[in-house]
Amino acid sequence: MNHISLDCVIFGFNNNELKVLLLHLKYSKEYTLPGGFLKHDETLEQAAQRIVKERTGLNNLFLKQFKAFSDPDRSKSNKAIFDADMAGTKPDMTFFGKRFISVGFYALVDFRKVKPTPDLFSDRCDWVSLTADVTMLLDHKQIIQEAISTLRLQLNQQPIGLKLLPHKFTMPELQTLYETILGRDLDRRNFQRKILNYNILDKLRERKTGGAHKSPYFYSFNVERYKKALEEGLSGIW
């Protein structure tokens, strides 16, 4: 019999860096994605919202299912069982030894609003840079990479900037977000021209102060125009 679990890749953007929210296991010391099992009375979407809320404290977040992970051997060496045993929960070894198919969801959150909350088996809930070299449970590194690949494909179909950036941001901050997701540098002039041609931004009168260079203007997304543009499909590729 196959069992269904969920793994949630929760993305946040802070200090010009894309990060993912991870749990640090108490005893095996590995990092793991926030996850859990599908309850009998839940849809997959309801389970994902529940799991993400437990770790972030936030309701009704932007969530997208992106892939199912079904390698028959993915759960054979599960160090989370050791953590559960050490935590005194007396896990059912027969249950955990069975095959698990995990459904991946990614969430886009406002970094500043999240209250990272560990679960029973973890001692910390940390924002971790995508470039950090950390040891992770099972195939969770692969799950994160698949989530990033999905973000790249959906830059022109989903409100990624709207969900990850604060209400007001600078053009360099928006460009850095795109470059981080794409994994490559973009030409500044071409990026600005393309973004402005979408007509999804409102330029504010306020400038960002405190930098070494000329203070850039703040922008905000025009939510109605952004949603309409996404429905029509933003033209071109990055």
Same domain, 194 and 95: no
Same domain, 188 and 103: no
Find tokens 């990055």 and name the residue.
238
Q: Are strands 217-221 and 17-25 parallel, antiparallel or unpaired?
A: unpaired
Same domain, 125 and 164: no
Same domain, 164 and 93: no
State the sign of the Cα–Cα–Cα–Cα dihedral 156, 52, 140, 12: positive
Q: Are strands 35-37 and 169-170 parallel, antiparallel or unpaired?
A: unpaired
User: What is residue 157's predicted lDDT score, i.e. its pLDDT?
Assistant: 86
Same domain, 43 and 136: yes
Spatial CB neighbours of 94, under 8 Å, sequence gap ≥ 6 = none
Asked, for residue 72, whether it belongs to a domain, the answer is yes
Same domain, 107 and 209: no
Q: How many domains does the chain have?
A: 2
Spatial CB neighbours of 35, under 8 Å, sequence gap ≥ 6 = 5, 6, 7, 8, 51, 102
User: What is residue 195's predicted lDDT score, i.e. its pLDDT?
Assistant: 93
Domain stop point among 110, 133, 153? 153
Same domain, 20 and 106: yes
Alpha helices in the chain (DSSP H): 44-56, 79-86, 93-96, 140-153, 160-164, 171-182, 188-197, 223-232
Identity of the amino acid at 115: K
Same domain, 46 and 148: yes
Same domain, 39 and 66: yes
Same domain, 143 and 72: yes
pTM here is 0.86
169, 203 Cβ separation under 8 angstroms: no
Same domain, 102 and 48: yes
Asked, for residue 237, whether it belongs to a domain, the answer is no
Same domain, 90 and 185: no
Asked, for residue 199, whether it belongs to a domain, the answer is yes
Asked, for residue 107, whether it belongs to a domain, the answer is yes
Averaged pLDDT in 10-residue chunks for the chain of 238 residues: 86 94 92 93 96 95 94 67 56 61 95 94 95 92 96 89 94 95 94 93 90 82 92 72
Q: What residues make up the domain containing 169?
A: 160-232
The three-state DSSP-derived secondary structure of 44-109 is HHHHHHHHHHHHHCCCCCEEEEEEEECCCCCCCCCHHHHHHHHCCCCCCHHHHCCCEEEEEEEEEC
Domain stop point among 153, 173, 192? 153
Pick from 32, 8, 12, 6: nearest CA to 122 = 32
Domain CATH number, residue 25: 3.90.79.10
